[in-house]
Structure 1
Amino acid sequence: MKYSLITSFLLGGFAIAITKQPVSSNSQHILVHSTDSHSIPDLEHVIDVSPLLSYHRNIVQIESTTKNEAEVGDFIIQFLQARGFHVEKQIVLTSEAERKGQNNPEYKERFNVYAYPASSRLPRILLTSHIDTVPPFIPYSLNAHVSSQPSFDRDNILISGRGSVDAKACVATQTFAVLEYLQTHPNAPLGLLFVVGEERGGDGMKWFSNSTLNTSPPTFHTVIFGEPTDLALVSGHKGLLAFKITSRGLAAHSGYPWLGRSAKFGKTTLNIGHIEGGVAFNVVPAVAYAEVAVRLAAGTVEEAKEIIRNGVRDATGGNENVTVEFVGDGNGYPPQDLDTDVEGFNITAANYGTDVPNLHIYPDADGNTHGKVKRYLYGPGSIFVAHGDHEGLRLWQLEEAVKGYKKLINAAMERNKVTNYA
């Protein structure tokens, strides 16, 4: 969920802010010799010979915009089952229409993917990201700068396509970090959770959070969330409160505006008809609305709601035809503090939203919550390109992210020993 701070009654586009501090790859740059000027066969070969890169390619090639995640989910399930994971397919039914529509031929199944080794159905360390993307679908592609010499830098191959960054890069690298860790620590209590719907309200994570898989008290002591962070650990991100302002008037022909009342400006001789609302350019709108998202840097959601209500009341003179509705579940969430106590990472803060607040952490027997459960946010790629037409990242970032996730797993495993979770 990446919203912008909207300070007017216009519904704006998405925008974020994050300190870009990429972690440099320690691996040596490898020059790949090209057999032709375009080098596409050579680029494909680089991907083909790497299990990580080919898996990333496979899931990016599957279109999975929000509410259309089933195909990529099934592919991930088959991939994990083939590698010895037990996989639970958690059906997500978040609306009455979805619950009623299961027998409809046009119904599209939606589900979270919850996977773990046979030894740990209730893992102590959970890695999670999302499999849905924003529209539109953009095909997978590879590009490399080829100089006059017949070679290119393998590490700097640009891998592009919708979801190549947000967040299938996290899905792929979390998966391979766990696979590689289990090769040397076969009894490590690790789990993977890949959810639907993060880009539109977080319904997949909320469904998991309210299910029996999210135990009270929690069985996990560490949750590693995957989002594009330029390979930095995120110390926290802003909260969110979304609301809709609706202004109701009386429709009329634009040639006789005195017969109506503009939803935006009341009675007027001008037809200012469409902010969000109106039916035609020549009709004074009966209703108009603006949807607003506020990024909360401090304070509580209730404090923010009170400021918004008072602001609208003062601006309209208490006009009863102008109303405020807090959308979604109406609750929003406050700023989120995250853990950054693992050495070897750059630290940054984020303005975008994530599934972090959608996973409820139940208190333990002593009444502790976030102090007991560590929450990390980390991943490859830049959020600045995540929803754009040129979404993509460099090959080295994927391979470096596997190392980063394994470093976080290592730290969690050390904590596993000293907190009597083993």
Structure 2
Amino acid sequence: GGSDYSAALIGASLSASEIQIWTDVSGVLTADPRIVRAARTIPRLSYAEAAELAYFGAKVLHPRTIQPAMDAGIPVRICNSHAPDDPGTLVTAEADIWPETVKAIAHKRGITIVQVASARMLGAYGFLRALFDVFERHHTAVDVVATSEVSVSLSVEETAALPQIVAELRRLGEVRVEPRRAVVCIVGEGLRATPGIAARVFDAIRDINVLLVSQGASQVNLTFVVNDAEVGEVVTRLHAALLERDRAPTSVAIPAARPRAGAPLDVCQLARQLIDIPSISGEEAAIARFLAEYLTDLGYRVALADAAPGRPNLFATTGAAPRVVLCTHLDTVPPFIGSHDDGEFIAGRGACDSKGILAAQIVAAERLRADGFAELGLLYVVDEEMGSLGARAANAHPRARECRYVIVGEPTENKLAVGCKGSLRATLRCSGTGGHSAYPERGTSAIDGLLHILTDLRAATWPVDDFFGATTFNIGIIGGGTRTNVLASEAKADLHFRLVTDVDVVRHQLEDIVADRAEIEYLSVTPPMRLTGMPGFQQCVVGFTTDVAHLGHWGAPLLLGPGSMLEAHTAHERIAKAELAGGVDLYVELVRSLIAGHVSTAANARTGKLPMPFTRGGTA
């Protein structure tokens, strides 16, 4: 029951050869195992490394408590009382430099960036003292600091004192506050003196915005700040790039729990296992391998086939020709977010789109097999969130035409979707002459031209359909220009239309509005779909696009799944455990109804009026 500090004092007084501190983990890990399943124990750390890791979230041991041992030169070993044979982590006064240099990736959430800009800084002294006095008066610690000639940016933990701090800082200059950030810290002796480390770090996260960087203040860390919603993805990628030599950027250790044929499956447990395997579009191989082993253990015949290099689709059967196939996608949008169970909901990236659905389909398939129905297949595809490469490849599968029905899983709130909107993705590119912004009359700005076009597009009346509803479009990404004092020579915007008519109707209207003011590049198109209906099921029409349009050879399509698209792609994506269990029941009921022949088409079952509001949101 003694503290770490007591152990250090006693050990130092006795001149012990080693102090052992027993806790519930096997030492300090290379990353938070809730985010990185491949995290492993670090054999040896210096005091400086342990201090950095402890401050940035690795709370196994507070280094300040072992200062007496460090002063006496006595190593401290952190051991696991549940696994006494594990060697744990040895913390020593001297550095132990690994060949890889980097030893761990730590992070801390709940961070706010505060930026103070003032011309009073230029060539002045005393400004920083006045600034940090404000934080001292409010007992608020500062994590990361970066300065320029006229501004200071720093990060602090979320605090109730922040409004008062900001009010006082406004006496010094203009203040900008950016909440919901996270600090990431790369730790290892020799970081500052090792060429190429920073390049490897930032190359691994080259598509993620870094808001603040600090290197050089310590010999053992490189610290930066990112958006809180992206920290899981950042830590996962960095661990793979810096600490997993033979792994792909987001590959993870396969979860240990294996199923037993004939044993009941827990849909919530399986959903969490799947969520904890990162499978961002383009990096689906790890989850495909896991499912191949998992389903093989259950007795399925499993085949993996690449839709693109290193991106395998999975098809599993019982051995019989499949009359009904359950299908969903393996990929998720970024960033990776590990699973969490609060008792009522399971949260994490893909909880509802579509790891939870995947788990529900597997559990439903096992219930159907237990009831003697063997003419069942499982089809899990890659790239749904991008261009549906997996579904397009799967449509050419030699066994596709054996199937009568394909049930595609997407979050429809456990309602049978009898229609889904189509999709058109396009990029507009405008050109300008460039020139100095002090003389706008001497040139043209591509950004101005692009904004005029986008204003016209937003003011236009787009097609409406009695069945599908209204055409909508989103201006997803805008880019252009190089500096504020230069007229932009290039600008572009990425658009995403949700179609309710034939694509040519929207395409011709788009081209008429744009005319010769910009170039249009069409990226992908998926037509709107009327789907198969079924008596006895709640029905809806959804506003998002799915893989259904690309799976025509697999038989009559149906669209159903637990979860809400309003939760999908968010930082707090989640699915109710009760809804997940209900999804299993509905999949079982739907397959039984299909086999019994209780089928109607949406076109025949509908009068042209929508029975329910659109399910808003979007998948691919």
Shared fold, TM over 0.5: yes
Match 2:392 to one of 191, 195, 206: 206
Structure 1 residue 259: deviation in Å? Answer: 4.4
Name 1:383's counterpart in structure 2. Answer: 565
Name 1:190's counterpart in structure 2. Answer: 376
In the alignment, does 2:334 pair up with 1:334? no
- C-alpha contact (below 8 Å) 1:300/1:334 kept by paired residues: yes
Name 1:350's counterpart in structure 2. Answer: 542
Cα distance in 2 between the residues matched to 1:381 and 1:336: 21
Cα distance in 2 between the residues matched to 1:323 and 1:75: 44
Name 1:397's counterpart in structure 2. Answer: 579
Name 1:165's counterpart in structure 2. Answer: 352
1:412 aligns to what SS in structure 2? helix
For 1:341, the aligned partner's letter is M
Label 1:208 to 1:361 Cα distance change in 2 as closer, same or farther (>3 A).
same
User: 1:139-162: per-residue Cα shift (whole Å, max 9, x none)?
Assistant: 111114xxxxxxxxxxxx211111
1:5-404 alignment runs, 5 A limit: 51-93=266-308, 98=309, 109-120=310-321, 123-144=322-343, 157-186=344-373, 188-214=374-400, 218-265=401-448, 275-297=478-500, 299-313=501-515, 319=516, 322-328=518-524, 332-343=525-536, 345-361=537-553, 373-404=555-586
1:134 aligns to what SS in structure 2? coil
User: 1:347-402: per-residue Cα shift (whole Å, max 9, x none)?
Assistant: 1111011111121338xxxxxxxxxx321111111111111111111111111111
2:593 aligns to what SS in structure 1? helix
User: 1:323-360: per-residue Cα shift (whole Å, max 9, x none)?
Assistant: 222223xxx233210112241x2111110111111213
For 1:335, the aligned partner's letter is P
- C-alpha contact (below 8 Å) 2:409/2:560 kept by paired residues: yes
Cα distance in 1 between the residues matched to 2:320 and 2:398: 19
Question: RMSD of aligned C-alpha atoms?
Answer: 2.2
Name 1:32's counterpart in structure 2. Answer: none
For 2:553, the aligned partner's letter is I
Q: Number of paired residues?
A: 310
Higher strand proportion, which one? 2
1:279 aligns to what SS in structure 2? coil
- C-alpha contact (below 8 Å) 1:250/1:286 kept by paired residues: yes
Structure 1 residue 213: deviation in Å? Answer: 4.2
- C-alpha contact (below 8 Å) 2:331/2:382 kept by paired residues: yes
Cα distance in 1 between the residues matched to 2:304 and 2:598: 27
User: 1:115-154: per-residue Cα shift (whole Å, max 9, x none)?
Assistant: 001223xx1211100111111111111114xxxxxxxxxx
Structure 1 residue 302: deviation in Å? Answer: 1.4
Structure 1 residue 312: deviation in Å? Answer: 1.4
User: 1:45-79: per-residue Cα shift (whole Å, max 9, x none)?
Assistant: xxxx9632221111111111111111111111110
For 1:196, the aligned partner's letter is V
- C-alpha contact (below 8 Å) 1:342/1:411 kept by paired residues: no
Which of the pair has more CA radius of gyration? 2
2:370 aligns to what SS in structure 1? helix
- C-alpha contact (below 8 Å) 1:250/1:262 kept by paired residues: yes
Name 1:406's counterpart in structure 2. Answer: 588
Cα distance in 1 between the residues matched to 2:390 and 2:519: 30
For 2:419, the aligned partner's letter is G
TM-score by length of structure 1 reads: 0.69
- Gaps of at least 5 residues in structure 2 are 1-263, 450-476, 600-620
TM-score by length of structure 2 reads: 0.48
For 2:503, the aligned partner's letter is V
Cα distance in 2 between the residues matched to 1:159 and 1:286: 48
Cα distance in 2 between the residues matched to 1:118 and 1:235: 31
For 1:125, the aligned partner's letter is V
Cα distance in 2 between the residues matched to 1:381 and 1:68: 24
Label 1:175 to 1:57 Cα distance change in 2 as closer, same or farther (>3 A).
same
Structure 1 residue 416: deviation in Å? Answer: 10
- C-alpha contact (below 8 Å) 1:342/1:408 kept by paired residues: no
Cα distance in 2 between the residues matched to 1:211 and 1:250: 51
Cα distance in 2 between the residues matched to 1:327 and 1:388: 24
User: 1:284-326: per-residue Cα shift (whole Å, max 9, x none)?
Assistant: 11111111111122x311122111111212xxxxx3x522222
For 1:290, the aligned partner's letter is A
Cα distance in 2 between the residues matched to 1:416 and 1:205: 27
